[in-house]
Amino acid sequence: MRPPSRFPHRGMRSPGAKAWFGILPFLLFAVAFMLLPAGNILVGSFQDGKGNFTLKNILNLARPNIVRSYMVTVQISLATAAAGCLFGFLMAWAVIKGGLPKWVRAFLTTFSGVASNFAGVPLAFAFISTLGRMGLVTAIIQLVFGISLYDAGFSLYSFWGLCLTYLYFQLPLMVLIIEPSIDGMKREWREASENLGASNLQYWRYVALPVLLPSLLASFILLFGNAFGAYATAYALTGGLLNLVPILIGAQIRGDVLHDPNLGYALALGMVIIMLVCIMAYSALQKRASRWVA
Amino acid sequence: MKKLKFLPWLWTILGFLYFFVPLFAVFLFSLHGKKDVLSFAAYDHVFHDPQFLKTFGFSLAMSGFTILAGLALIVPTAIWIYLRIPKAKPLMETFALLPFVIPPIVLVFGLIRTYSKPPFTLVTSPVLLVAGYIVLSFPYIYRAVDSGLRAVDLKGLTEASQSLGAHWGVTFFRVILPNLRTALLSAAFLTFSTVMGELTLAVMLAWPAFGPYMALVGRDLAYEPAALAIISFTLTWGSTAIIHAVTRGLGGEDSGVAGTH
């Protein structure tokens, strides 16, 4: 027979060390498959081929091809985060506050849930069918305007083509994360500012934007990180033509393209640090933003 | 306010055009498997490709293992934390952010470095792949279970169950789990749609999974990849529809931060 109450009653003193044994399996898993691999990347970044401590790998990150790789990845992340934030916000605002039928919003939210996960290989195929050399939109533009996109210098497999493709999961993600903040914008604020004689512009300048700014910044950072870590879409679309950091790491894993395994770890470490900064800034801004959503 | 109505419609329509034109284009493309006529020939080719069945089955099995092992690991942990050590909650939240901080490509790099040499040579074992998938889906599973736990009076239920003489195994399986049904189902389908099309881990660990198969077909053929994209989209859409159907009324859905892009 077990004692009648294995679980403490409300208001009992905080549990002792024994309670932590209950989550030991999970902690062991987390150490083995999250912390240990991450720690090994960190350690590897500061080792030479023989396992001795060195700063050479970190210094080697200043190599022109690696700097270029980080630059392209940052640019693509900035561009798709900015466009995703702008258009995602406009769309979310339109369906929530624009007086559209309710089902439009319900549909957009559901669709965004799907589309923000619709990435990788299938997404690449969808855009090849749309804007590839034989794509539908490419053909329509040729037919209607007589312009050949590819002769005009556009390519789906280039920087801007990849941006356009990334936007397909960036925009819905923005819709999903900004919706609660837009919901938090109270109608009374608008009415109050109108009663005080504020114009539409003044309402945005002095009320709406200041309230929304932390959320918008937080979303921007999250979208930035989301694009920065993306591998599958870029791999499927460009097959490694574009020298993004995740692509470079992938090539390094498959065949040591850097001819220096430890430089590969430093490359991955740089990526983790960027993501870490992103998530910390995101959490801090979210905390600030939550003041308004009471 | 009347003049403002035009702009919301404009942005919504433009947005939906951007969303639907690629889907329409890829669907149209997928119907061109036979010359000069629209047909489902490309789908036919795909379904009759033994590699398709093999890789699809492999990914199906992996997602099954991931769901079972992931739920077995995370659900009791979440319940235990909820009941006994709420202090550990911030720790779990931090772990839920890790898959974002450590993107799949870095995770698999670290896994390979850690488990390719003795004493733990796991790189050739599917255990490592499933473990990696559990890491990727951990935020989804944890958040679904956490919001499910918040929706029920867990303490009241366990106390009631135990004062009626049930010991904790009965309480767990016959009282707590049925109350978490919707949360568990939505966690399972989120995990399913994450694993089915996953590419990064499967490619790097060299497994014949559905994601790498799609990438391979995309390199060699023209219309079959389009059919695969439609199949894959239908899977994602189907899982989402099921999640929506089961979580209706649960309120507050979390959009996971981590992705598998």
For B220-248, write each residue's pLDDT tens digit.
888 899 999 999 989 888 888 888 787 76
Residue A54 located in a structural domain:
no
Residue A23 forms part of a structural domain: no
> Is A221 inside any structural domain?
yes
Alpha-carbon gap: B125 to the closest alpha carbon of chain A (Å)? 14
- The domain spanning residue A211 has which CATH number? 1.10.3720.10
Tokens 């990845």, residue located: A73
Assess if residue A7 is contained within a domain. no
> Would you state the structure tokens that stand for residue A28, as one six-digit string?
């062991």
Structural contact between residues A238 and A185, judged by C-beta atoms closer than 8 angstroms: no
Residues of chain A contacting residue B163, judged by C-beta atoms under 8 Å apart: 4
- The answer to whether A184 touches A292, Cβ cutoff 8 Å, is yes
Query: Alpha-carbon distance B133 to A141, whole Å?
Result: 42
pLDDT tens for the 294 residues of chain A, in order: 444 444 444 444 455 778 888 899 999 999 999 999 999 999 999 998 888 899 999 999 999 999 999 999 999 999 999 999 999 999 999 999 888 888 999 999 988 988 887 888 999 999 999 999 889 999 999 999 988 989 988 999 889 999 999 999 999 999 999 998 999 888 888 889 989 988 888 998 888 898 899 999 999 999 999 999 999 999 988 877 788 999 999 999 988 788 888 899 999 999 999 999 999 999 888 888 777 654
Q: Nearest residue of B to residue A229 by CA position?
A: B103
What is the extent of the structural domain holding A194? 65-289
B205 touches chain A (CB under 8 A): no
In a domain, A236, yes or no: yes
B106 in contact with A, Cβ within 8 Å: yes
- How far apart CA A124 and CA A115 sit, in angstroms, is 13
Chain B CB within 8 Å of residue A69 CB: no
Residue A270 has, within 13 A of its CA and on its CB side, a CA count of 25
Task: Give A30's contacts in chain B (Cβ within 8 Å).
Answer: 95
Q: Is residue A33 included in any domain, yes or no?
A: no
How far apart (Å, rounded) are the C-alpha atoms in residues B206 and B102? 20
How confident is the model over B160-210, as pLDDT tens digits?
Answer: 888 898 887 888 888 888 888 888 998 998 899 889 989 999 999 999 999
- Specify the pLDDT at position A6: 47
Global pTM? 0.88
Nearest neighbour of A126 by CB, restricted to B22, B114, B215? B22
Distances (CA, A) of B21 to A131, A136, A200, B170: 10, 9, 34, 52
Q: How big is chain B, counted in residues? A: 261
User: What's chain B's average pLDDT?
Assistant: 87
In chain B, the domains with their CATH numbers are: 49-247 (1.10.3720.10)
In a domain, A16, yes or no: no
Angle between helices A121-131 and B224-247 (to 10 degrees): 120
Q: How many Å apart are CA B14 and CA A26, to the nearest integer?
A: 46
Window A:89-128, CB contacts with B under 8 Å: 90-91, 93-95, 97-100, 104, 108, 110-111, 113-128
Residue B230 CA to residue A280 CA, distance in Å, equals: 37
Nearest chain B CA: its distance from A249 CA (Å): 7
* Residue B81 and residue B92 in contact, taking contact as beta carbons nearer than 8 Å: yes
pLDDT tens per residue, range B75-110: 999 999 988 898 899 999 889 988 889 999 999 999
CA distance A76 to B202: 25
Least Cα distance to A265 among A7, A46, A84 occurs for A46
Domain count for chain A, please give it. Answer: 1
- Of chain B, the percentage scoring pLDDT greater than 90 comes to 49
Looking at the predicted structure, is the pLDDT value of residue B250 above 80? Answer: no
Give me the pLDDT at residue B67, please. 96
Task: In whole angstroms, give the CA distance from residue A211 to residue A279.
Answer: 21
